[in-house]
């Protein structure tokens, strides 16, 4: 019996042309889709992103970076984010971002980005989507602060993170902060923090050979045993078992 990896490769090999996904996402008006190469240049986009950038055709985006398309300083921030994903192999999972477009329009989005690797495990690009958050379309003075607080979480997962402190960064009470997180992600604030740590751990286990004790520290767990318990509870595997399974699925691991 063929493995799931072999079945997937056989399916892709049977397609008449490469499947990049943009045609599917062309039909989703509230979500921008993109693929970028190792230099953070667009190689595939959907119609939504083209419209948001006030451009006439997909070809007007291909070969350009976010820094070249979006106004400063947002474009530079998006580009720096892309390059971190490409350099470190770390996923972006539901980051709350303000998008300002060349036509003057703006809106809040949740953004996901995933590094893409070749068969040797070397990172060669990234895929991503940005989905509109309609409830935040109006003027909410605390949304920018909430975005900054969530970015702080993503950038400091190796440090102790207390919900009251994060709420203060978001200029909200702890209750209000929890309610906003529930509205955005369907999770309590505590569950959101746990998910962020475990997702980061999965990235590190999948893409590096770092000792599990080091991965635990990078994800905010001073105690490897506590990390292993939480990881198993969340993923259903121990960190060691997850790394073995991920390696079998990915094939040889190379540099990023």
Q: Note whether residue 3 is domain-resident.
A: no
Mean local confidence (pLDDT), 175-188 = 92
- Whole-number pLDDT of residue 124: 94
CB contact at 8 A, 164 and 142: no
Among candidate residues 49, 120, 111, 53, the one with its CA nearest the CA of residue 82: 111
pLDDT higher than threshold 80 for residue 15: no
Q: Note whether residue 2 is domain-resident.
A: no
CB atoms within 10 A of CB 45: 26
- Whole-number pLDDT of residue 247: 80
- Of the residues 111, 137, 163, which one is the last residue of a structural domain? 137
Segments forming the whole domain that contains residue 51? 19-137
Q: Note whether residue 181 is domain-resident.
A: yes
Mean pLDDT, rounded, of the chain: 87
Q: Are 122 and 147 in the same domain? A: no
Q: Are 120 and 183 in the same domain? A: no
pLDDT higher than threshold 90 for residue 195: yes
pLDDT higher than threshold 60 for residue 107: yes
CB atoms within 10 A of CB 64: 15
pLDDT tens digits for range 222-242? 899 999 999 999 999 999 999
pLDDT higher than threshold 50 for residue 256: no
- Whole-number pLDDT of residue 16: 63
CB atoms within 10 A of CB 49: 25
pLDDT higher than threshold 70 for residue 102: no
**What is the band of 8 on the pLDDT scale with cuts at 50, 70, 90?**
low
Q: Are 219 and 232 in the same domain? A: yes
- Whole-number pLDDT of residue 215: 96
Among candidate residues 119, 195, 124, the one with its CA nearest the CA of residue 154: 195
Q: Are 133 and 29 in the same domain? A: yes
Mean local confidence (pLDDT), 89-115 = 84
Q: Note whether residue 145 is domain-resident.
A: yes
pLDDT tens digits for range 34-58? 999 999 999 999 999 998 888 899 9
State how many domains the chain has: 2
Which DSSP state fits 58?
G
Which DSSP state fits 71?
P
What dihedral do alpha carbons 141, 146, 148, 150 form, nearest 10°? -170
Q: Are 216 and 233 in the same domain? A: yes
Mean local confidence (pLDDT), 63-67 = 95
pLDDT tens digits for range 123-169? 999 999 999 987 665 545 678 899 999 999 999 999 999 999 999 99
Mean local confidence (pLDDT), 61-76 = 90
- Whole-number pLDDT of residue 63: 96
pLDDT higher than threshold 80 for residue 246: yes
Q: Are 133 and 152 in the same domain? A: no
């Amino acid at each position: 019996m063929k493995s799931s990896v072999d079945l997937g490769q056989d399916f892709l090999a049977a397609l008449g042309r490469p499947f990049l996904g943009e045609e599917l996402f062309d039909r989703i008006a509230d979500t921008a889709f993109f693929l970028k190469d190792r230099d953070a240049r667009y190689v595939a986009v959907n119609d939504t992103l083209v419209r948001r950038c006030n451009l006439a055709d997909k070809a007007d985006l291909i070969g350009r970076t976010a820094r070249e398309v979006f106004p400063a300083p947002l474009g530079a921030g998006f580009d720096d984010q892309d390059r971190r994903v490409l350099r470190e192999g770390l996923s972006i999972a539901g980051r709350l971002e303000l998008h300002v477009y060349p036509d003057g329009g703006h809106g809040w989005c949740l953004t996901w980005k995933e590094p893409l690797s070749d068969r040797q495990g070397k990172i060669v690009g990234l895929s991503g989507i940005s989905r509109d958050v309609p409830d935040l379309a109006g003027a909410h003075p605390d949304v920018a602060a909430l975005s900054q607080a969530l970015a702080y979480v993503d950038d400091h997962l190796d440090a102790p993170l207390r919900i009251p402190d994060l709420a203060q960064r978001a200029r909200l009470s702890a209750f209000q902060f929890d309610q906003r997180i529930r509205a955005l992600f369907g999770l309590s604030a505590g569950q959101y923090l746990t998910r962020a740590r475990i997702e980061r751990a999965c990235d590190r286990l999948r893409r590096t050979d770092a000792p599990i004790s080091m991965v635990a520290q990078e994800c905010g767990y001073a105690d490897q045993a506590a990390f292993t318990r939480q990881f198993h509870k969340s993923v259903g595997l121990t960190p060691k078992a997850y790394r073995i399974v991920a390696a079998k699925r990915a094939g040889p691991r190379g540099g990023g």
